[in-house]
Amino acid sequence: MTALAELTSACLARLKGSQVITEPAELRTYECDGLSSYRSTPGLVVLADSTDDVGYVVAQCAALNVPFVARGSGTGLSGGALPRTDGVLIVTSRLNRIVRLEPDDERAVVEPGVINANLTAAAAPHGFYYAPDPSSQQVCSIGGNVAENSGGAHCLKYGFTAHHVTGLEVVLPDGSTERFGGTAPDPVGYDVVGALVGSEGTLGVVTEATVRLLRTPQAVQTVLAAFRTIEAAGDAVSAIISAGVLPAAIELMDALAIEAAEAAVHPGYPAGAGAVLIVELDGPRCEVEAQLADVERLCGEAGAFEQRIAADAAERGLIWKGRKSAFAAVGRISPDYIVQDGVIPRTALADVLQAIDEVAGEAGLRVANVFHAGDGNLHPLVLFDEAKGQTERAEEVSNRIIELCLDHGGSITGEHGVGHDKVVHMGKMFSAVDLDVMQLVRCAFDPQGISNPGKIFPTPRLCGERPGKRSGVHPLQQAGIAEVF
Amino acid sequence: MAQTAELFRPTSIDRLAEMLRTASDDGRSVGIRGAGSKETWGGVGAPVDAVLSTRGLDRIVEHAAGDLVITVEAGVALADVQRTVAAAGQWLALDPPEPGATVGGVVATAASGPRRLRYGTPRDLLIGITVVLADGTVAKSGGKVVKNVAGYDLGKLFTGSFGTLGVIAECTFRLHPRQPALRAVSTPTHDPAERFAEVLATGGEPAAAEWDGTTLTTVFESIEAAADEQAERAILAIGGQLSDAVPPGFGARPWDATSVGLKVTHRLGATSDAIAAVRSATPNARLRVAAGSGVVLAGVGADDLGALDSLRKSIAALDGQVVVASAPEEAKRDVDVWGPVRGLPVMQRIKEQFDPDGRMCPGRFVVQP
């Protein structure tokens, strides 16, 4: 019997039949996450109903040396939850209880399958919300957000998932369950919670998270400013930041992204715009009103030909709808597209946009630009037609964009994660030694290398080896390497 | 640290790495020292063979003002960072009070001050780090852009690690625009938690709030009109004196080098209970309560450490922990400085991966060398 077959019978012996999926047709429905260009049918799928279920399956995996991959809602865009044919996919979406809502403590305790937006909905009557707001927040799970350190439009002011998680319950790769942190701040010891958030499922499976709830701000104002050119919109972003204003969000869409959004959800953005900027301010009313005046003035000075201020939540919702649906909307104007996620220093925006334009032009493809302009997080959408054999060229353009980000001192991913998709780029951003040292953390958690193997790191390290190479011994003073007192 | 330890003062990261490589070959244990402003913090260090001063790593590598990011070597004083970025109307939003403290020391001890209420602690502002491990391996994680999720975040692990995973050599931080106006409202009260809740109910968003045992000081930082209005609303709600500067002693530690400092954390809704527990266990404690942050700092005498266990018990019921944050060596030699640590076995495994021979800052932290 293969290890996977042994694991399957162990799961069937312990769990309910409805929790264990072995039918090939059913298994295939889990073959990819939100990045459907990579597919791999899992050897087995288990739908966990409790931490104990997760602990049991992982312990069996450890005993049988079978790899496991955790999956929440499956909306990830880097193939982080891409299954293994030789392993089990542990689905946490049925662990969807909000365990406790503690407004007095400004915390919520949630199971990993809780949908991001549902937490804010539950906290809202108490005057609170959960800040990280990835565009997929209506469907993505908090467990997945924790794995990917998800951001969203509002992380410019409020930070990412890592800033909002204060405690975790984790099933470690040996099957044991451990808790780190809690509701109080500054837990004693290494910041293991900080290391776990964003580790993309490679250090274990999160089975419960304690997260911060923020007070709903007294006032929110959303401005939609339309510009003739994307350069003018970029200038407005720089002017706003230089003025010392820290908006909750600054989002930019170019003409192609606007066209797509209009085709899909009709947000009614100003006609003739080469770019629109969405600026959202929140905080105490007096502060927001003063900043709103600044933002309007600065956008006007940068050349905005029309500015609209959302009069109410409905208008705000419509402005945001165009932005948040932009990825999917691109499907209306192109048969296929690649969503890219790169980061540049904000000041390099104009240079990089021009370079993207050139790269796309050379390849004869179109690129729609949607991005979190305030923090330099680009989401270029490379449009192509597979039927016309453009796939390879599109991938080249997409890769070239990542290299542009690195050339300008940026990052290969701002919020979608490395997952499977960007493993090839890690060696361009980090040295082999950097990656080896990061994997010391992996070795502390998962010496067997069974927790979502093949993600993040291009080369797994054999735990026990020391990173780097040792050079010969040189007496300190002789080499003159340090002043000796 | 042993008196006889050799002191090394590398002037570049390469030299630092070579020094550690040599120390590794010789099997020597290594202590790390910045400005020495927190030598009384943490566990009692075991004697070490060599002490590494980071003061030679004193370069401000890059201030990208337009991107609100700065990269500095670990030996740069936090005050020098603030001076550098102030010219651009910015600041690194960390305000621990220790004079002369270096960036490396602030990060290694996760030191924070009252403005953590709005901006968080070093972990929240550190976006990239270069570290040197015990065997001289130089590695970096993170980067120079605020938004970045590529690879593991070693910065989180090294923040607050007291040098036990390796040497912090260089840090990149996110900066914030400095707000043009400050308004402080000082309100005498015996119930800071209730008063602070009343301030929040006005819709104001204080940058910091601190209660010193008799007076709650609530600080608003914003553009002038908004700072004024928030302060006025706060005074309407809870009364108090308005000032355009924080009162003397604001953000200071309620202890000195000869007394004992306790750091008591708790769930945010239990501030009053935490204060009561501290006062009951150590009636003469001097207090600095970071209202809204879940941290009570208490200055006590060495004799008060006898009450540590019972205080830990009452604070555990509030989901919090009690750490002997600062104390003279003789006062904490027989004391469990950290108390119970959640997830310690995993931390020990992390330590063993980064410093398998246990040579870095032995004794200073929760893990065994």
CA distance A18 to A5: 17
Gap from A422 CA to chain B (nearest CA, Å): 9
**β pairing state of A483-484 and B30-33:** unpaired
What's the pLDDT score for residue A72?
97
- Helices A3-14 and A51-64 pack at an angle, to 10 degrees, of 150
Cβ contact A483–B11 (<8 Å): yes
Cβ contact A194–B15 (<8 Å): no
Q: B108: nearest CA in chain A?
A: A190
Dihedral over alpha carbons A250, A251, A255, A257 (to 10 degrees): 180
> 10 Å Cβ neighbour count for B41?
21
Cβ contact A194–B123 (<8 Å): yes
Tokens of B311: 């205080």
Cβ contact B149–A160 (<8 Å): yes
What's the pLDDT score for residue A480?
43
Would you give the DSSP letter of residue B246? P
Residues of B in contact with A345 (CB under 8 A): 64, 66-67, 69, 144-145
CA B158 to chain centre: 13
Cβ contact A187–B342 (<8 Å): yes
Question: Which region holds residue B115: left if phi is over 0, alpha if psi is between -120 and 50, else beta?
Answer: alpha
Cβ contact A102–B156 (<8 Å): no
Residues of B in contact with A191 (CB under 8 A): 110, 123, 156-157, 159-160
Q: A440: nearest CA in chain B?
A: B353
Taking all residues of chain B, what is their mean pLDDT, rounded to a whole number?
97
**Would the pLDDT of B136 be above 90?**
yes
pLDDT band at B241 (very low <50, low <70, confident <90, very high): very high
φ and ψ of B283, to 5 deg:
-60, -25
CA distance A80 to A420: 6
Cβ contact B146–A375 (<8 Å): yes
Cβ contact A434–B320 (<8 Å): no
Q: Yes or no: say if A56 and A175 are a contact pair by the CB < 8 Å rule.
A: yes
Residue of A437, A445, A448 to mutate when probing chain B, most B C-beta within 10 A: A437
Return the closest-CA partner of residue A343 out of A151, A194, A157: A151
Q: What order of strands is seen across the sheet that includes strand A98-102?
A: A98-102, A107-110, A205-212, A165-171, A177-181
CA distance B8 to B52: 5
Among candidates A148, A345, A456 on the partner chain, residue whose Cβ is nearest the Cβ of B67: A345
CA A363 to chain centre: 28
**Would the pLDDT of B298 be above 60?**
yes
What's the pLDDT score for residue B369?
87
Q: Yes or no: say if B68 and B177 are a contact pair by the CB < 8 Å rule.
A: yes
Q: What share of chain B is helix, strand, coil (3-state, %, to 5)?
A: 30, 25, 45
Residues of A in contact with B176 (CB under 8 A): 246
Average pLDDT for residues B184-213, to the nearest whole number?
A: 97
**β pairing state of B50-53 and B6-9:** parallel
CA distance B142 to B162: 20
Among candidates A241, A376, A466 on the partner chain, residue whose Cβ is nearest the Cβ of B145: A376
Would you give the DSSP letter of residue B263? E
Q: Yes or no: say if A213 and A130 are a contact pair by the CB < 8 Å rule.
A: yes
| pLDDT tens digits in sequence order for chain A, 485 residues long | 899 999 999 999 999 999 999 999 999 999 999 999 999 999 999 999 999 999 999 999 999 999 999 999 999 999 999 999 999 999 999 999 999 999 999 999 999 999 999 999 999 999 999 999 998 999 999 999 999 999 988 899 999 999 999 999 999 999 999 999 999 999 999 999 999 999 999 999 999 999 999 999 999 999 999 999 999 999 999 999 999 999 999 999 999 999 999 999 999 999 999 999 999 999 999 999 999 999 999 999 999 999 999 999 999 999 999 998 888 889 899 999 999 999 999 999 989 999 999 999 999 999 999 999 999 999 999 999 999 999 999 999 999 999 999 999 999 999 999 999 999 999 999 999 999 999 999 999 999 999 999 999 998 888 877 765 444 333 343 444 433 33
The beta-strand segments (E) located in B189-342 are: 208-211, 215-222, 241-243, 260-265, 286-290, 295-300, 322-326
Distance of CA A173 to CAs B7, B175, B274, Å?
42, 37, 36
Stated pTM of the model: 0.96
Gap from A286 CA to chain B (nearest CA, Å): 5
φ and ψ of B9, to 5 deg:
-135, 75
Cβ contact B267–A190 (<8 Å): no
Would you give the DSSP letter of residue B337? S
What's the pLDDT score for residue B3?
53
Q: Yes or no: say if A456 and A423 are a contact pair by the CB < 8 Å rule.
A: yes
Q: B14: nearest CA in chain A?
A: A481
The continuous run of DSSP H or E covering B186 comes out as strand B181-188
What's the pLDDT score for residue B236?
98
- Judged by DSSP in three states, B132 sits in strand
Among candidates A217, A417, A425 on the partner chain, residue whose Cβ is nearest the Cβ of B149: A417
Cβ contact B177–A245 (<8 Å): yes
